[in-house]
Structure 1
Amino acid sequence: MEERDIAAVLTEQVSEAVDTGRGLRIVGGGSKAFLGQAEATDVLDIGGHRGIVHYEPVELVITARAGTPIAEIEAVLAAHGQMLPFEPPRFGPTATLGGTLAMNLSGPRRPFAGAARDFLLGTRIINGRGEMLRFGGEVMKNVAGYDLSRLMAGSHGTLGVLLDASMKILPRPPAELTLRQELSPEEAIRQLNTWAGQPLPLSAGAYDGACVYLRLSGSETALRAAQRRIGGEPVEDGADFWHRLREHEHAFFRHPGRLWRLSVASSAAPIELPGNWLVDWAGAQRWYAGDADAAMVRQAAVRAGGHATLWRGEADAPRYQPLAPMVLALHRRLKAALDPAGILNAGHPLYPQA
Structure 2
Amino acid sequence: MIGEADRDASDLLLEQVNRARSNATPLRIQGSNSKAFLGHEVAGEVLDTRVHHGIVDYDPTELVVTARAGTPLRELLAALDAAGQRLPCEPPAFGEEATVGGMVAAGLSGPRRPWAGSVRDYVLGTRLISGHGTLLRFGGEVMKNVAGYDLSRLLAGSFGCLGVITEVSLKVLPKPRHHLSIRLEMDSAQALGKLAEWGRQPLPLSAASHEDGCLNVRLEGGEGSVSAAHQRLGGEVIDDQYWTALNEHRLPFFDEGLPLWRLSLPNPIGPLALPGAHLIDWAGAQRWLKTDADTVQTLARELGGHATCYCPGATDTPFQPLAPALLRYHRQLKAQLDPQGLFNPGRMYAEF
Measured in 1, the distance between the counterparts of 2:287 and 2:6 equals: 43
Corresponding position: 1:351 with 2:349: yes
2:310 aligned counterpart, secondary structure: strand
* Structure 1: distance between partners of 2:6 and 2:199: 47
Shift of 1:313: 4.8
Quote the Cα distance in structure 2 between the aligned partners of 1:113 and 1:99.
20
- What is the rounded CA distance, in whole Å, between the counterparts of 2:277 and 2:69 in structure 1? 36
In the alignment, does 2:104 pair up with 1:104? no
Could you tell me how far apart the structure 1 residues matched to 2:73 and 2:200 are? Answer: 31
Aligned to 2:158: 155
Q: Secondary structure at the match of 2:111?
A: coil
Look up the match of 1:136: 139
Aligned to 1:41: 44
The aligned residue for residue 318 of structure 2 is 319
Does the CA-based 8 Å contact 1:38-1:346 persist in structure 2?
no
Q: Deviations over 1:155-197 (max 9, x none)?
A: 0000110000000001011110111111121111121222223
Aligned to 1:7, which of 7, 10, 16?
Answer: 10
Residues 80-137 of structure 1: CA deviation (Å, up to 9, x unaligned) = 1110111111101010000010010111111110000100000001001110000112
- Provide structure 1 residue ranges, at least 5 long, that are not aligned to the other structure: none
Cα deviation code 1:288-329 (max 9, x no counterpart) = 112212xx1112212222111111153343111211101000
CA distance in 2: counterparts of 1:38 and 1:162, whole angstroms? 19
Per the alignment, do residues 64 and 234 of structure 1 end up closer, same or farther by CA in structure 2, a change over 3 Å counting?
same
How has the CA–CA distance of structure 1 residues 208 and 2 changed in structure 2, closer, same or farther, with 3 Å as cutoff?
A: closer
Give the unaligned 5+ runs of structure 2: none
- Deviation per residue, 1:130-162 (Å, 9 max, x gap): 10000112xxxx646531100110100001100
- For residues 255 and 187 of structure 1, the distance between their equivalents in structure 2, rounded to whole angstroms, comes to 29
Query: What is the TM-score normalised by the length of structure 1?
Result: 0.94
Contact 1:85–1:109, Cα closer than 8 Å, also in 2: yes
Task: Say whether the 8 Å CA contact 1:25–1:41 is kept in structure 2.
Answer: yes
SS at match of 2:246: helix
Question: Structure 1 residue 168 and structure 2 residue 166: aligned?
Answer: no
Cα distance per residue 1:252-275 (max 9 Å; x no partner): 001412111111113111101111
For residues 160 and 189 of structure 1, the distance between their equivalents in structure 2, rounded to whole angstroms, comes to 40
Corresponding residue for residue 83 of structure 2: 80
Aligned residue type for 2:299 = A
TM-score by length of 2: 0.94
Partner SS state of residue 203, structure 1: strand
Give the match for residue 285 of structure 2: 284
User: Secondary structure of the equivalent of 1:248?
Assistant: coil
Letter in 2 for 1:135: F
Contact 1:258 1:314 in 2 (8 A): no
In structure 2, give the amino acid aligned to 1:247.
E
1:128 & 1:166 partners in 2: Cα distance? Answer: 22
Deviation at 1:61, TM superposition (A): 0.5
- Name the structure 2 match of 1:242: 243
Check conservation: 2:27, 2:45, Cα contact below 8 A.
yes
- Which shifted more, 195-204 or 71-80? 195-204
How many percent identity over aligned positions?
A: 50
Q: Equivalent residue of 1:164, what SS? A: strand
Alignment of 1:164-243 (within 5 A): 164-235=167-238, 237=239, 239-243=240-244
SS in structure 2 of the partner of residue 228 of structure 1: helix
The answer to whether the 8 Å contact 1:84/1:170 transfers is yes
Aligned to 2:257: 256
Q: How does 1:55-66 map to 2 (within 5 A)?
A: 55-66=58-69
User: Which 4+ stretches in 1 moved above 6 angstroms?
Assistant: none
Which amino acid is the alignment partner of residue 283 of structure 1?
G
Instruction: Say if 2:309 is the partner of 1:306.
Output: no
Report the AA paired with residue 64 of structure 1.
A
Preserved CA contact (<8 Å) 1:255 1:289: no
Tell me if the contact between 2:137 and 2:143 (Cα under 8 Å) persists in the aligned partners: no
Which residue of 2 is the match for residue 266 of structure 1? 267
Structure 2 residue identity aligned to 1:186 = A
**CA distance in 1: counterparts of 2:131 and 2:316, whole angstroms:** 29
Aligned positions, number = 344
**How far off its partner does 1:219 sit?**
1.4
CA distance in 1, matches of 2:334, 2:158: 10
Offset of 1:39 from its aligned partner? 2.5
In structure 2, C-alpha distance between the alignment counterparts of 1:205 and 1:277, rounded to whole Å: 14
**Contact map agreement 2:30 2:48 (CA 8 A) in 1:** yes
Q: CA deviation at 1:66?
A: 0.4
CA distance in 1: counterparts of 2:215 and 2:304, whole angstroms: 22
Shift of the 182–255 alpha-carbon distance from structure 1 to 2, 3 Å rule, reads farther
Partners of 1:287 and 1:54 lie apart in 2 by 37
